[in-house]
Amino acid sequence: MDAANAPPDPTSPADPAQQAPEPDAVTSSIGAGQGVQTPDYPMAEQNLASLAEQSAIYATRAFGPGTQRAYRSAWTKYTAWCAGHGLDPFGGSAGPRAGAGPLPLYVTHLAETGMAVSSIRVALAAIATAYRLAGLALDLRDPKLAPVVEGITRTLGSRPRRQATPAVPELLRAMLAQCGRDEIFRAALAARDRAMLLLGFGAALRRSELVALTIGDAEIVMGRGVRLLIRRSKTDQQGRGQEVAIWANPADPTFCPLVALENWLIFRRLGADFTGDEEAPDPSARPLFCAVTKGGKITGQGLSDKAVVRLVKEMVAAAGLDPARFAGHSLRAGLATGAGDAGVALADVMRQTRHKSPQVALEYLRPADLWRNNPTARLFRKGAV
């Protein structure tokens, strides 16, 4: 056989001209003389690094803003404690994968400083999350850690956390009476505060949900009341959205969510962000509740959830009550508790509060249930009725 026509010897080295291109090769012939760009390895490494960074960002967004703040605070305190004692927060001197590391000592420190068991568990969850984000394993059931946590729980007890005093309807009326009472010239601020209190109560909103509302999220339904769209919440982290309806109260305009919203919208449309510019963002996407200066100027800038806390505490203090007993959650708790007092069924309360767990919703209804159908009423109040 002619050497030129002989088949290639598979044991012989390949022709250098037919070997795979080097990593920095930029073209490859495909078809009739057409070339395509092929990525070089350094660029691929940069892309992977960028994807890894973005992946970490997405991982942190698996938690709501409130959880992120709590975890960030807990992790900062843990690392500061470790630094102060010369310990590695990812496992101490024995290395990052050496069991529980300094955690048994740290939770003991937390218990000795008087931290509640529930707060200790939050700290542990935050630390475990930081381990996962760092690509490390941490088993909270580790035999060096779990018995310590169980012992702390048995010693201190799982005391229920102090709950905010609910702003039930009678109390809410007293708070509304204080809105703009001493500052008549600040009508815009009074209108905003009234709308925030009544919508926050009527829709049983968490403080983050209340300040996240946009103008387009509030729809006035003629002959009925107000319909709110809650785009994202503690129980809806993926943003599927939930709708909540609030009936109007035409018999008492001073205690009517619809009237309060309409009055505030008159001022809201005078805000600095309503410039008439055609390129400005869609008005419906702007914050429903925004900052109002002491001079009554409506800035259009959204509020933080701390504004709800300040509002509730200021109004209850003005009404002569102890603000330390109240929080931003008082509005949500007030609706649930008031509904329980009125005999509203659990399922209907849960639809309004959007609770997933009946056990959690029942915590608001139990004060009323303690007195409803109580056998001692027939024993001690028999002659009083």
331-385 tens-digit pLDDT:
999 999 999 888 888 889 999 999 888 888 887 776 667 777 778 877 886 655 4
Q: Which residue has the tokens 């568990």?
A: 121
Contacts of residue 345, defined as CB under 8 A and 6 or more positions apart, other chains included, come to: none
pLDDT one-digit tens code per residue, 245-293: 999 999 999 999 999 999 999 999 999 888 665 555 678 889 999 999 8
CATH fold match for the domains 60-156 and 169-369: no
- In terms of Cβ atoms closer than 10 Å to its own Cβ (0-12, 13-18, 19+), residue 234 is middle
Please tell us whether the domain made up of 60-156 is placed in CATH 1.10.150.130.
Answer: yes
Q: Spell out the domain ranges in the chain.
A: 60-156, 169-369
d(CA 220, CA 263): 12
pTM (predicted TM-score):
0.66
- Collapsing DSSP states into helix, strand and coil, what is residue 325? helix
Rounded alpha-carbon distances, angstroms, from residue 260 to 50, 178, 220, 266, 313: 48, 14, 12, 10, 20
97 exposure class (CB count in 10 Å sphere: 0-12, 13-18, 19+): exposed
**Whether the Cβ atoms of residue 208 and residue 66 lie closer than 8 Å to each other:** yes
What distance in Å separates the CA atoms of residue 142 and residue 144, rounded to the nearest whole number?
5
User: Rounded to a whole number, what is the distance in angstroms from the first to the last CA of the chain?
Assistant: 121
82-107 tens-digit pLDDT: 999 888 888 733 444 444 568 999 99
CATH number of 169-369: 1.10.443.10
